[in-house]
Amino acid sequence: MDKYQIGTNAGIVWNVLKNNAHWSYEQLKTASGLSDRDLNAAIGWLARENKIDFDINKENDTLFLSVNVYIG
């Protein structure tokens, strides 16, 4: 795995998440078609860039896009 592939996989995850829904890890894995290793690296990439947020609760953890709006 290299940085280019991780970035490509992050784009795949981004495209799955762009419907503004909250996705469980398993749902995201199925929809993206990525392996655990590739999905985790892509999530890390997006998290490091502040592109995704995590909703952590007792029932299930979900991931969703972070919307950053800058005015001015």
Domain ranges within the chain, ordered by starting residue = 3-65
Is CATH 1.10.10.10 the classification given to domain 3-65? yes
Please give the biggest Cα pair distance in the chain. Answer: 41
Tokens encoding 10: 């992050």
- Tell me the mean pLDDT in the region 57-72: 64
Tens digits of residue pLDDT in 5-59: 999 999 999 999 888 888 888 999 999 999 999 999 999 999 898 888 887 776 6
Are the beta carbons of 7 and 48 closer than 8 angstroms?
Answer: no
pTM of the model: 0.82
